[in-house]
């Protein structure tokens, strides 16, 4: 299948999916999220695909949900954005075929959440991670409130979510957010090597381990995130945060 925003390459059982919107730092608009869903549904039915590498075109992995789609949205549209993100990321997390995120640059907001929905994360030494939603007056809406503490622990997750600060690849490795940090030019080769090792194992056991370890299958914590995300989408602070990003200025939050 041909996608508009995702490049696909199948080689020796490994499907490499590359998000291809480099001019916007691979910001995840609704079309990309939909295409990722379609790609994962397609790969599940393709017996030639044994595992997946997910990466970003150019210098970045993904800089988050597309903030330009947040302008003037309602409560209802906020819910739809969060639910669609969850649908896509759940498909990735639940894929019985192993998925490695090869993080080549910024993985912010929804980009960091996308990497966290993958089963393993390999980062280039140039990668940067963070959940800057707080600077938009919202919370992560694609699983960050439960996948981040699942990987780095409650205390560090609280700090990263409340400050919105970015961390580099080595700090992310120390926290357990990424599995390995490698040189930029070795990123894909290293990810392929790890994936080759995993796909040489018993496929049913691989799928079962993934299933046992999945964090996002808790309906209650997911629904809580969606509910709070959509409520915050109707606040003045959210409108201010989005306007400030688009106007390239600092937000002036009022707590309302």
Binding site for ligand COA (CB under 6 A): 24-25, 27, 63-68, 106, 108-110, 132-133, 136
In the bound state with ligand COA, the residue whose beta carbon lies nearer, of 8 and 234, is 234
Distance CA 7, CA 17 (A): 6
Q: How many CA atoms lie within 13 A of 153 on its CB side?
A: 6
In the complex, what is the shortest distance from the CB of residue 68 to ligand COA, in angstroms, rounded to a whole number?
A: 5
In the complex, what is the shortest distance from the CB of residue 166 to ligand COA, in angstroms, rounded to a whole number?
A: 8
Distance CA 99, CA 90 (A): 12
In the bound state with ligand COA, the residue whose beta carbon lies nearer, of 48 and 247, is 247
3-state SS, residue 241: helix
In the bound state with ligand COA, the residue whose beta carbon lies nearer, of 56 and 110, is 110
- Among 23, 42, 93, 133, the active-site one is 133
In the complex, what is the shortest distance from the CB of residue 127 to ligand COA, in angstroms, rounded to a whole number?
A: 12
In the complex, what is the shortest distance from the CB of residue 171 to ligand COA, in angstroms, rounded to a whole number?
A: 16
Concerning whether 133 is annotated as a catalytic residue, the answer is yes
In the bound state with ligand COA, the residue whose beta carbon lies nearer, of 40 and 70, is 70
13 in Cβ contact with 49 (< 8 Å)? yes
Tokens of 54: 């997910």
Residue 120 φ then ψ, to 5°: -145, 145
Beta-carbon count within 10 A of 172 CB: 27
Beta-carbon count within 10 A of 168 CB: 14
Point out the residues that are catalytic.
Answer: 113, 133
């Amino acid at each position: 299948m041909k996608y508009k925003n995702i490049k696909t390459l199948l080689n020796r059982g490994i499907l490499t999916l590359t998000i291809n919107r480099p001019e916007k730092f691979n910001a995840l608009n609704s079309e990309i999220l939909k295409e990722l869903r379609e790609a994962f549904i397609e790969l599940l039915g393709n017996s030639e695909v044994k595992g997946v590498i997910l990466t970003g075109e150019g210098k970045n992995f993904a800089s988050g949900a597309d903030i330009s789609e947040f302008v003037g949205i309602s409560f209802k549209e906020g819910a739809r954005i969060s639910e669609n993100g969850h649908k896509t990321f759940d498909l990735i997390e639940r894929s019985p075929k192993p998925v490695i995120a090869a993080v080549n640059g910024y993985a912010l907001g929804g980009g960091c959440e996308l990497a966290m929905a993958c089963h393993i994360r390999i980062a280039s030494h140039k990668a940067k991670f963070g959940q800057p939603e707080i600077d938009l007056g919202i919370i992560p809406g694609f699983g960050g409130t439960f996948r981040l503490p699942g990987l780095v622990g409650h205390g560090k997750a609280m700090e990263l979510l409340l400050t919105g600060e970015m961390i580099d690849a080595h700090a992310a490795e120390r926290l357990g957010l990424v599995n390995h940090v490698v040189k930029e030019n070795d990123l894909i080769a290293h990810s392929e090597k790890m994936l080759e090792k995993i796909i040489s194992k018993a496929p049913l056991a691989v799928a079962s381990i993934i299933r046992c370890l999945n964090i996002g299958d808790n309906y209650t914590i997911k629904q809580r995130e969606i509910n709070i995300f959509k409520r915050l989408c109707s606040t003045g602070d959210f409108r201010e945060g989005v306007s400030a990003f688009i106007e390239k200025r600092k937000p002036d939050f009022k707590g309302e």
